[in-house]
Structures are given as structure tokens and as C-alpha cells.
């Protein structure tokens, strides 16, 4: 079951602690190296939220995911405490909790971003992430389908030029000195060229709204996720920014490929961030 700690609970827990709660352990809650901070503390339940979990207490009426039922442990001590519940009883952990608060001093400040990174992803947030990934795939396919439609028009254009070349037979261009150069690329008459340009423009304008429509849906899902989780929402916004380029570039193959690569990379970052918070 996904744990649903609030950002306020996370910040309060760290504000009440300066090290691991296990007696005699001075392991810090945040590891700092090369000017980079990494939260390494783990949140432990005094009483499990699961009926089959360690130290589950059906009579407990407090907030199971609130600060009174939680304490911070290092990675070394969290697993033994939960795996050997008969050895580490509720009364033991309550003593550790009181000692952790009493010796916290100024506590361990954490930023909003660090606090959010600790919070387990909720079902509704997971759903929003899944929707964003799904819509990203749809907008990618819509842009590729639009590019294919333009490609068919261009293919017909080339075939028409090749057909004209075959009908007229070999032709040469003669310069002022009488030198002959084979004409290998035949241009269609102006009216036919104009007709193909119009078909390209019409195809572009017909396909563009569909791509934009899906980008709009993607933006709506991003807004929902950002309201629930600013950290994941920020990553989702990068997905939307990449997708917003697609309605204007699907007529240029190389640019389309680069933009799709950018979109896929942003989707990957969002997916990995969500995966870390299962």
C-alpha cells in the first residue's frame, strides 16, 4: 500500500531529528558530498499501517501516517526494526522517538523539493503520470502520422516529375560556350507545382489541429499533476514544452526526429522520478 505522508509531516519529522533514532547511531539524515545534498534517512512506522505489517495496532486511533507514529532511521537500522517486530516493540520505538526529538537541537531543515521527493506517490498521482505518458505517445504518433501524410504528397510530386522526365526523354542544358549538361531533375509546369504546394499546405493544416488537440490534453493532465505534486508536475511541464513543438515541426523530418527524441527523454525523466517513489 502506498504511503501518503504530507509535505508538512515530512518537514516536521526532519525538524525534530538530527540523526538516526536507533540508540547510539549517529548516522546523519542527509548526506552531503561535493556540495550536493541527498536525503538518506528512511521513515519508519512505530505501528504499521498494514494489518500484516510490523507492530500493527488495530486499537490505535491516531494518524497512522502522522508524525507521532513515525520516526527517522538510517538504512542500516530500518530493515531489522521492521523484520524483527517481536524484538523491536512499540514501547521501544516510542522511547527512541522521544529521545530523537529531545536531542534534535535545531533539527535538520529540508527544502520543499526534498520533502516532496520523500513522499510516496499516491494512486491519483500515479494515474496522472500514466495519462501523461499515454498522451505523450499519442501526440508522438499523431505527429508521425501527419509527417507520413505529407510524405505521400511529396512522393507523388517526385513521381510526377519522374514521369514527365520519362515522357520528354533525355534533355540537356547548353551554356554560353555550347557545353551541354544533362538535366536530371525536371520541374513540373507552374500550375502543377502550385497544385502540389497547395496540397502540402492543406495536408499540414488538416493534420495540425489533431496534434494540437492532444498537446492540449497533455497540458491539462500536467496541470492536474502539478497541483498535486509540484516536483513531478515540473517534470511533466518539460514533457509538455517538448510536445508543444510538434505541431510546427512535423513537416521537417530531421527536426521532427530531434523533437521526438527530446519528448521521449523528458517522458523518461518523469517516469523514472515516479518510479523512485513507489
Maximal C-alpha separation, the chain: 105
**How many CB atoms neighbour CB 125 within 10 A?**
21
Give, for 44, the enclosing helix (H) or strand (E): strand 42-45
Distance (Å, rounded) from C-alpha 221 to C-alpha 235? 12
Question: Which segment of 1-5, 107-111, 117-121, 272-276 scores lowest on mean pLDDT?
Answer: 1-5
Give, for 32, the enclosing helix (H) or strand (E): strand 30-33
Distance (Å, rounded) from C-alpha 49 to C-alpha 63? 10
Distance (Å, rounded) from C-alpha 204 to C-alpha 112? 44
% residues pLDDT > 90 (the chain): 58
Query: What per-residue confidence (pLDDT) applies to 186?
Result: 65
Residues 145-199 have pLDDT tens digits of 999 999 999 899 888 877 877 776 666 666 767 676 765 666 778 898 899 889 9
Grid cell listed for 36: 550536493
> Please, is 188 exposed, middle or buried when counting C-beta atoms within 10 Å of its C-beta (0-12, 13-18, 19+)?
middle
Query: What per-residue confidence (pLDDT) applies to 166?
Result: 75
Query: What per-residue confidence (pLDDT) applies to 172?
Result: 62
Q: Is the pLDDT of residue 1 over 50?
A: no
Distance (Å, rounded) from C-alpha 56 to C-alpha 72? 18
Dihedral of alpha carbons 245, 249, 253, 255, sign:
negative
Distance (Å, rounded) from C-alpha 102 to C-alpha 109? 16
Rounded mean pLDDT, 64-69: 91
Q: Is the pLDDT of residue 54 over 70?
A: yes
Grid cell listed for 53: 505489517
Residue/partner pairs of 112-118 with CB below 8 Å, 24 or more apart: 112/7, 112/230, 113/231, 114/30, 114/37, 114/39, 115/7, 115/10, 115/11, 115/14, 116/7, 116/10, 116/229, 116/230, 116/231, 117/39, 117/231, 117/276, 117/277, 118/5, 118/10, 118/39, 118/43
Q: Is the pLDDT of residue 2 over 50?
A: no
Query: What per-residue confidence (pLDDT) applies to 162?
Result: 78
Q: Where do runs of H (alpha helix) occur along the chain?
A: 7-15, 75-83, 90-102, 112-118, 123-168, 190-228, 230-243, 246-249, 253-275
Query: What per-residue confidence (pLDDT) applies to 39?
Result: 86
Rounded mean pLDDT, 222-234: 87
Higher pLDDT, 34 or 277: 34
Give me the residue spans of the domains in the chain: 7-118, 123-275
pLDDT grade for 14, boundaries at 50, 70 and 90: very high
- The contacts of residue 38 (CB under 8 Å, 6+ apart) are 30, 31, 32
Residues 93-143 have pLDDT tens digits of 999 999 999 999 999 999 887 887 776 677 788 899 999 999 999 999 999
Question: Which segment of 35-49, 157-171, 193-207, 253-267 scores lowest on mean pLDDT?
Answer: 157-171
Query: What per-residue confidence (pLDDT) applies to 182?
Result: 64
Q: Is the pLDDT of residue 255 over 70?
A: yes
Mean pLDDT for the chain?
A: 88
Query: What per-residue confidence (pLDDT) applies to 144?
Result: 95
Query: What per-residue confidence (pLDDT) applies to 239?
Result: 97
Is there a contact between 196 and 188 (Cβ–Cβ < 8 Å)? yes
Query: What per-residue confidence (pLDDT) applies to 33?
Result: 87
Amino acid at each position: 500500500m502506498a504511503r501518503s505522508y504530507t509535505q508538512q509531516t515530512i518537514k516536521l519529522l526532519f525538524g525534530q531529528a538530527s540523526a538516526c533514532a536507533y540508540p547510539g547511531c549517529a548516522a546523519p539524515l542527509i548526506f552531503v558530498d561535493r556540495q550536493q545534498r541527498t536525503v538518506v534517512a528512511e521513515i519508519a512506522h512505530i505501528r504499521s499501517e498494514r494489518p500484516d505489517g510490523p507492530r500493527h495496532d488495530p486499537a490505535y486511533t491516531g494518524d497512522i501516517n502522522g508524525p507521532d507514529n513515525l520516526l527517522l532511521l538510517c538504512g542500516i537500522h530500518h530493515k531489522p526494526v521492521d523484520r524483527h517486530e517481536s524484538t523491536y516493540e512499540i514501547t521501544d520505538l516510542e522511547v527512541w522517538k522521544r529521545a530523537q526529538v529531545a536531542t534534535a537541537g535545531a533539527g535538520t531543515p529540508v527544502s520543499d523539493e526534498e520533502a516532496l521527493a520523500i513522499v510516496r506517490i499516491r494512486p491519483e498521482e500515479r494515474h496522472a503520470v500514466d495519462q501523461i505518458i499515454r498522451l505523450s505517445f499519442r501526440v508522438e504518433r499523431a505527429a508521425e502520422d501527419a509527417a507520413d501524410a505529407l510524405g505521400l504528397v511529396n512522393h507523388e510530386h517526385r513521381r510526377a516529375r519522374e514521369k514527365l522526365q520519362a515522357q520528354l526523354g533525355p534533355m540537356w542544358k547548353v551554356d554560353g560556350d555550347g557545353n551541354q549538361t544533362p538535366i536530371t531533375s525536371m520541374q513540373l509546369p507552374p500550375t502543377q507545382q502550385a497544385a502540389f504546394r497547395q496540397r502540402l499546405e492543406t495536408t499540414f493544416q488538416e493534420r495540425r489541429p489533431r496534434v494540437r488537440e492532444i498537446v492540449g490534453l497533455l497540458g491539462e493532465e500536467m496541470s492536474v499533476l502539478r497541483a498535486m505534486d509540484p516536483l513531478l508536475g515540473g517534470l511533466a511541464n518539460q514533457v509538455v514544452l517538448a510536445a508543444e513543438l510538434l505541431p510546427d515541426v512535423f513537416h521537417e523530418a530531421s527536426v521532427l526526429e530531434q523533437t521526438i527524441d527530446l519528448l521521449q527523454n523528458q517522458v523518461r525523466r518523469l517516469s523514472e522520478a515516479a518510479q523512485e517513489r513507489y
